[in-house]
Structure formats: C-alpha cells, structure tokens
C-alpha cells in the first residue's frame, strides 16, 4: 500500500452515488461537537509521517495507525441493558438520517482502501438490521482490497438461527455479550428475557468453529461481581474467551464509581480461587489483557478502559448508525460523514474530512471522574 491511497477508478465517484440519496437534513445530535464542513477543513498533507506504508489519512499526530473500524448498524435493540441505555429509552433518529447499505459499503470501501483491515459490526443490536447479510456479503468483496476480518458484537438473542448464514456470507469473528449465568438475573440486567437464546448462540458459535468465541461481560458491583469466578469456571470445558469489561460511564447510564469493579479487584478474586492463573501474551493492539487457568479449554481477559487505559495503542475508529465518525469512544467530538458524502463531494474530500478528524484525536481520553461528568452518547448509540 502506498503512502496515500488515492481513490481508484473501480469506485464510482461519490457524486454519482449521492445523487440517489442526497439529503441535507440537519440532525439534532446528542453530542456537543459535530462538524460537517469539508472544504473549510485544513488540508491534512502536512502531518508528520510515521510509517510510509500506511495511509496519512488514518494516521494521527501521535503515530497511531487506525486499521480497525467499528460500524454501528442500528440504534435499535431488543434488550434494555441497565449499563448501556437509560431506563426511559432513547430517541431514535429518523430512518433517513441513518446510513443506507450502499452508504455503509461505500464508506467501508474507502476506509479499507486506506488501510482498515478489520471491520466489526455493532449497534444497538446489529442482528436487528434486516439487510445484515447483504452488508456482510458486500464487506466480503473488500477482502481483495485488504480487509482481513469481518466481526460482529451481538447480544446473541437471535444469533443461533442466523449464524451459519452470516458465516457463509463472510463473517469470521463473533463476540457475544452475556453478563450473568443466572437466568433470573439476566432478566434483571437486560430488562428482557432471553438467557436460553444467548446460551444456544454460544454453543452454536463453538459448533461452527468460531475461534475464539468471545463473550463480553460487563462487571458491576452489587450485580454480578459475585459471578466472576463462575465465569472463569465456565471456561473449564468451553473453548470461549470471557472478557471482563470494567463498567464505563456513558450518557444516561447513571455510572457510579462505587459500582465499578476494577481489573485488579477481579484478578484478586480469581487468584484467590486459582492461584495458578497464568498471564498470556497480548497482541499489539489488543484491548484485553489475557489470562488462563492452566488445563482449562478457554481463557479470560480484562478490558481495563477505566483503571488502565490503552489509548497509546488504540487503532480504532467508530462510525455511528447515523453516519458520524467518532475517533475516540470516550470523546464527544464527531464529524458527519453522512452529510459530507450526501453533499456530493469527491472521495478525496471525504478522505480529507476523515483525515482531519483522525488528526484531532487526543493522546488519551479523560480520567474516570471527568468521563463520568462528560457529555457523551449513550453506549447504545456508539456501539461498544
């Protein structure tokens, strides 16, 4: 890949594409900063080069190369997890404000041509998107251009019956969220039923040889911290990777420091029972710190966004369902790629907007107490 991947003639111009879906309707966004300008933005060509083999547009001023894009496909969900969305629900964007399938695929292609090699589909609940299969099939055609992985993060409620088709369409990684092994508690945490469906989805993913099958578990004091060791025991016979996630503050989730269980506290609980717990090596951009009880089929990991941030190796960008590019999960700065794209500008200009946003990415996100006071979207509108 060259220093700067120019849009190729294989891609129809954005102007052609946007003619079908031009919409300059203004959205009221639940964030403080949203930029839509393109030509007024500074050119990005003067930034320092850290690696001549990676796109300048996706390299920030600290040399971080962004090769992982998370795309939220919907704002809707069939669960109502306490830590993710306010009890009263959220205001959904009008349908015409959401990215269409061609828009998602067009932007994905642009990102992949610049060096994104992994795309994860999230939400809301991505399985609620009716054209999910089409989206995965479209993404799968980007493999010759450099896309290596297509993943999904799902609550698993309807996954078991869809998984084989999604895999056949090209999806190769699956993360399933599950915060408790007790059916009644599942209903309390998610405010809905469905425990059995999630368990069958986990079994189906194992049966279809997804490796590893990752299970996301948000740990909250007073809710499920007493199950940390049960989750570790779950890995004895099942080849799954349980990822314990520190509870994070987002808009409307009433985060409270006292309810957060830190990585160190979880580790102490596990080591009390399994002193032989072994630290495994992590990949260069892993957000999770990996461990294993020797002899167990699966492993565990900790996502320590609150107690030990991993901003220094962050390689992620996020696109919200309404088309905003978010360069940091915990930052409230966003830029509307939807509006830029629908205005009919060239691919080069869209890239400049992306590059300028990446360029503005901060070295690290704010600390715990500032984050809890900061205005940000509810997690359901970001996508994890």
Q: Does 85 bind ligand SF4 (CB under 6 A)?
A: yes
For ligand SAM, the binding residues in 149-178 under the rule CB under 6 A are 153-155, 177
Is 123 a residue that touches ligand SAM (CB under 6 A)? yes
- Under the binding rule (CB under 6 A), the answer on residue 245 touching ligand SAM is yes
Least Å distance, CB 219 to ligand SAM, is 9
Angstrom distance (rounded) from CA 360 to CA 376: 17
Task: Answer whether 219's CB lies under 8 Å from 225's CB.
Answer: yes
DSSP summary character for residue 73: -
d(C-alpha 210, C-alpha 168), whole Å:
12
245 binds, among ligand SAM, ligand SF4, none (CB under 5 to 8 A by kind): ligand SAM
Instruction: Supply the minimum distance, in Å, between the C-beta of residue 129 and ligand SF4.
Output: 12
When the beta carbons of 360 and 365 are compared against ligand SAM, the nearer one is 365
User: Which region among 25-33, 117-125, 129-137, 259-267 touches ligand SAM (by CB under 6 A)?
Assistant: 117-125
* Residue 156 to residue 165: CA distance in whole angstroms: 15
| Residues contacting 26, CB < 8 A, separation 6+ | none
User: Binding of ligand SF4 at residue 124 (CB under 6 A)?
Assistant: yes
| Cβ 176 vs Cβ 216: under 8 Å | yes
- Element housing 325 (H / E): strand 324-326
- Candidate list 81, 105, 159, 382; residue touching ligand SF4; CB under 6 A: 81
Position 122 contacts ligand SAM (CB under 6 A): yes
Q: Counting contacts by CB under 6 A, is residue 30 touching ligand SAM?
A: no
Which residue reads 């503005």 in tokens? 360
Peptide bond into 212 cis (omega under 30): yes
Collapse the DSSP code of 175 into the 3-class scheme (helix H, G, I; strand E, B; otherwise coil) and give the result. Answer: strand
Task: Return d(Cα 128, Cα 98) in angstroms, integer.
Answer: 14
By CB under 6 A, is residue 253 in contact with ligand SAM? yes
**Interatomic CA distance for residues 21 and 56, integer angstroms:** 29
Q: Is 223 in the site for ligand SAM (CB under 6 A)?
A: no
Residue 180 binds which entry of ligand SAM, ligand SF4, none, CB below 5-8 Å type-dependent:
none
| Smallest separation (angstroms) from ligand SAM to the CB of 194 | 11
Q: Does 83 bind ligand SAM (CB under 6 A)?
A: yes
Round to whole Å and give the CA distance between 114 and 58: 7
Q: Which does 85 bind (CB under 5 to 8 A by kind): ligand SAM, ligand SF4, none?
A: ligand SF4
Tell me which of ligand SF4, ligand SAM, none is bound by residue 216, counting a contact when its beta carbon lies within the kind-specific cut-off of 5 to 8 angstroms: ligand SAM
- As given in the structure block, the two tokens for residue 107 are 């932007």
Please report how the helices 195-207 and 159-169 are oriented relative to each other, as an axis angle in degrees rounded to 10. Answer: 30
Select the binding partner of residue 253 from ligand SF4, ligand SAM, none (C-beta < 5 to 8 A, by kind): ligand SAM
User: Which range of residues in 43-51, 118-126, 163-171, 232-240 is near ligand SF4 by CB under 6 A?
Assistant: 118-126
> Cα-Cα-Cα-Cα dihedral of 291, 297, 303, 309, to 10°?
30
Q: Using CB under 6 A as the criterion, which residues of the chain lie in contact with ligand SAM when the complex forms?
A: 77, 83-84, 122-123, 125, 153-155, 177, 216, 218, 245, 247-248, 250, 253, 379-380, 383-384
């Amino acid at each position: 890949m060259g220093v700067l991947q120019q849009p190729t003639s294989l891609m129809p111009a954005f102007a052609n594409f946007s003619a079908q879906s031009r919409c300059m309707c203004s959205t009221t966004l639940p964030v403080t900063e949203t930029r839509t300008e393109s030509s007024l933005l500074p050119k990005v060509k003067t930034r320092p080069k850290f690696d001549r083999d990676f796109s300048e547009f996706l390299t920030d001023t600290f040399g971080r190369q962004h090769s992982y894009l998370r795309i939220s496909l919907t704002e809707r969900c069939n669960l109502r997890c306490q830590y993710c969305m306010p009890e009263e629900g959220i205001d959904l964007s009008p349908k015409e404000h959401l990215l269409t399938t061609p828009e998602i695929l067009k932007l994905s292609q642009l990102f992949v041509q610049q060096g994104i090699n992994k795309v994860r589909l999230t939400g809301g609940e991505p399985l609620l998107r009716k054209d999910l299969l089409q989206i995965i099939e479209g993404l799968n055609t980007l493999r010759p251009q450099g896309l290596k992985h297509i993943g999904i993060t799902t609550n698993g409620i309807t996954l078991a019956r869809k998984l084989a088709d999604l895999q056949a369409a090209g999806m190769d990684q699956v993360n399933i969220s599950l915060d408790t092994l007790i059916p009644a508690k599942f209903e309390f945490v998610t405010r809905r039923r469905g425990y059995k469906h999630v368990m069958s989805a986990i079994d189906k993913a194992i049966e279809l040889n997804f490796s590893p099958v990752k299970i996301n578990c948000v740990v909250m004091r007073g809710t499920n911290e007493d199950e940390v060791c049960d989750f570790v025991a779950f890995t004895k016979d099942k080849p799954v990777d349980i990822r314990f996630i520190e509870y994070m503050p987002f808009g409307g989730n009433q985060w409270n420091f006292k309810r957060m269980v830190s990585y160190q506290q979880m580790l102490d609980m596990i080591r009390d029972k399994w002193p032989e717990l072994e630290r495994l090596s992590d990949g260069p951009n892993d957000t999770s710190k990996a461990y294993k009880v020797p002899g167990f089929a699966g492993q565990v990991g900790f996502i320590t966004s609150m107690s030990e941030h991993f901003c220094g190796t962050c390689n992620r960008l996020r696109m919200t369902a309404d088309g905003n590019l978010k360069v940091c999960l915990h930052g409230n700065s966003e830029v509307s790629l939807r509006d830029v794209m629908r205005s009919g500008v060239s691919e080069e200009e869209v890239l400049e907007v992306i590059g300028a946003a990446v360029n503005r990415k901060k070295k690290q996100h704010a600390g715990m107490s500032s984050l809890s006071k900061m205005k940000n979207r509810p997690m359901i509108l970001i996508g994890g």
